[in-house]
Structure formats: structure tokens, C-alpha cells
Structure 1
Amino acid sequence: MSRPQYVHSRREEPEIGPEWISIGVIVGAVGVKGAVRLKVFTDDLEAVLLRGAVTIFPDQHSTGEKRDVTLMHKIKVGYACQISGLDDRDQAESLRGVKLYVPRDELPKIEEDGSYYYEDMEGLIARDTDGTPFGVVHAIYNFGAGDLVEVQLDDVQNGPASGTKMYPFRDQFVPEVNIEQGYLVIDRAAYGEDQESAHPTDKA
């Protein structure tokens, strides 16, 4: 049986500096009064929101807008909530795909092993267990069954490869993450991939 292909939309936004951490993304509207469905990237959203307003970047030219967030109730991917400035369903839908940010220095430093901010993983070099780089981490997603690492494939030795690949972000498949040195290791053999065919070599 082939593995499912995950379809997701990306929204263009200005380049966000490392001083910002996203705590969630708007994935749709709730009702007709401007409430939204928020997919959450933090284990304690309520504590984060106690620190004050969040910042959103609605389009590529935005310099950031402060918005207050009021939680309504939990949903499967996070929370239904009301965001200031949204009064109807159309306004809520217009922000689908927009992330909510807070300054990094307002969040506690992560002390727990195996826990990372999504932004710190994006851009890491993806390596095989033998050390061969095969791509770059493009994003981290969660569709309800655990985190997934999306890798933009790029065979460094043989030129660019097309497309992206999703890998479960679990110790079995991602045994090492090294933020300081800028890479993570993905055990593609454990995932059922043939590393030899993934890295073809020219033969005379």
C-alpha cells in the first residue's frame, strides 16, 4: 500500500526573522461572527496568551499587526477562538493560513530533550544515517496523527531532485536533531526507502 500524500496550502508572508516564534496558524472559520479555527504549535497556549497580544503578518508587505486572542473552546487541532478585528466569517476566512507570532524572548527556553520550536528546525540539512545530505527541512506539520517533517529533496552529489517528502517526526525515524550544527538525521531505511536508489551514482 502506498503512503498517503499530504496536501497543504502555503500562504505567502514576509520573511520572518529568528526573533519570532509561531504559536499557531489559522486553518478556517467557525460560525458567522468572525471566530477562527486555530491549529496550535505549543503545549500551553493559554499560558502564552497571558503574556499579551500576538502579532500577525497577513501578507508579504505587512510589518506586523497586533491582535488580541480570546479562546472559546478546544477543537481537534487546537482551539476555536476570537481574534480582534474579525467581525464576520469572510474576514475570518481571509486570514486562513496566517500564523500567530510572539517574540522569542517572551517564551521560556526549551529545556526538555527532544522538544524544539518549529522555526528552529526549518532549514536544517537532512542527512541519511551514513551522513549523506539529501535535502533541507522545509516545514513541520501535524495533521492530527503526530508531527511530520517535510524535506525538500536535493541530492547534493547528483543535482536537485524534484518534490518533497514527509517523514514521521519520531525517534525511530529521526534519531538525531542538532540545531547548533544545523542538521538532523533521518533513518530512511527504517521508513522503508532504499538509500542506494535514492543516491544514484554515474557509472562509466
Structure 2
Amino acid sequence: MRRIEIGRIGKAYGMAGGLKFRGEPVVYDLERVYLEGLGYRAIEEIEELGNELVVYLSGVQNRQEAEQLAGLRVYADQDDLPKLEEGEYYYFELMGRPVFVDGRPFGEVVDVEDGAQERLVIKAKGTSLRAQSKTYLVPLQAPYVKIEADGIHIEAIPGLLE
């Protein structure tokens, strides 16, 4: 069984043990989560607060208990995650995948940034320290980015990898 990090616990919210949650919206589809170092907790309720989520977990009954959990990583068992449609991927499935530019090995995906547009963070492979420390941001939904079985293939366009 593999656990996947889906977010972090933020600050306590309210007096009834609410916890601000920063992470994947997949939490809506889960019955339980695994808290870093503490084990599994059932999700009792999820509340939307503006553009933030507040989760209520079993065993967290008041603000004092919630404050002790701030900053903890939140995980889900991979088997508990809902199945995605063809062509959709969880971020963790993209991490570590090889990247090819115009058919040649280029590097690997080290992160995925979420926001107005999802971006792959790609670390180039190379022998120099400069090459090893350089990262590139590539829009995931761009028509020149294709996810294949052997890795992620990018057709280079002017300025993309400069």
C-alpha cells in the first residue's frame, strides 16, 4: 500500500476542531486520511470557506486539539483515490517521469505547480553544476506536451526552454 501526499493541515478554524486544509481537492472523495506520524483519521465533514477548505476529522473535538495538528502532512492511500478518466493524471504520477525534447532525453519532472495553469517543473540532466541546478516550467496542457507510456514528450517551441 502506497501513501500519497495530498496536502497539509493549516491553522485551526473555529472552536469545534476545524482544520484549514491546503491541498488536492481529491479530499472530497475520501472517507479517511493519514496524518503524518499520527495515523488514520476519518473525515467527518468538509466545509468551504471562501476559496479554502475546512476539514473536520474524527478525534479532533476542539480548537486546542486542532492547533496541535497545524503543519502536518496529509496522505491518502493510493487505492482510496478515485479512478481518473483516460488522459487525466494525479500529480504524483507525473513526478520522476523522464522528459524528452524533440525525441532526445532532456531531464525529469521534479514537481507540478498548480494555479491558474498547471506547470511541470522539469530538472534538466547534464554534467555541469549549472545544468544540474536549472529547472524549467512548462505548461502541462500545452499542445506541444504529450504524456506517453515512456515519459513526457515536448516539442520545443522558441523560448520555451531558455
TM-score above 0.5, yes or no? yes
Q: In structure 2, what is the equivalent of residue 109 of structure 1?
A: 83
Q: 1:120 to 1:141 in 2, by over 3 A?
A: same
Runs of 4+ with >4 A deviation: none
Q: 2:18 aligns with which of 21, 29, 35?
A: 35
Q: CA deviation at 1:122?
A: 0.9
Q: 1:80 aligns with which of 47, 54, 57?
A: 54
TM-score (norm 2): 0.74
Gaps of 5+ in 1: 1-16, 199-204
Which protein is richer in strand relative to its size? 2
Q: 1:162 aligns with which of 133, 137, 148?
A: 133
Measured in 1, the distance between the counterparts of 2:118 and 2:134 equals: 19
The answer on whether the counterparts of 1:152 and 1:163 sit within 8 Å (CA) in structure 2 is yes
Q: 1:54 aligns with which of 9, 12, 33?
A: 33
Q: In structure 2, what is the equivalent of residue 147 of structure 1?
A: 118
Q: 1:99 aligns with which of 67, 70, 74?
A: 74
Measured in 1, the distance between the counterparts of 2:154 and 2:119 equals: 12
Q: 1:93 is paired with a residue of what secondary structure?
A: coil
What do the CA deviations read for 1:25-71 (whole angstroms, capped 9, x no partner)? 026214354433323434x543x22xx32223x2xxx4x71012221
One-letter amino acid matched to 1:119: F
TM-score (norm 1): 0.61
RMSD: 2.9
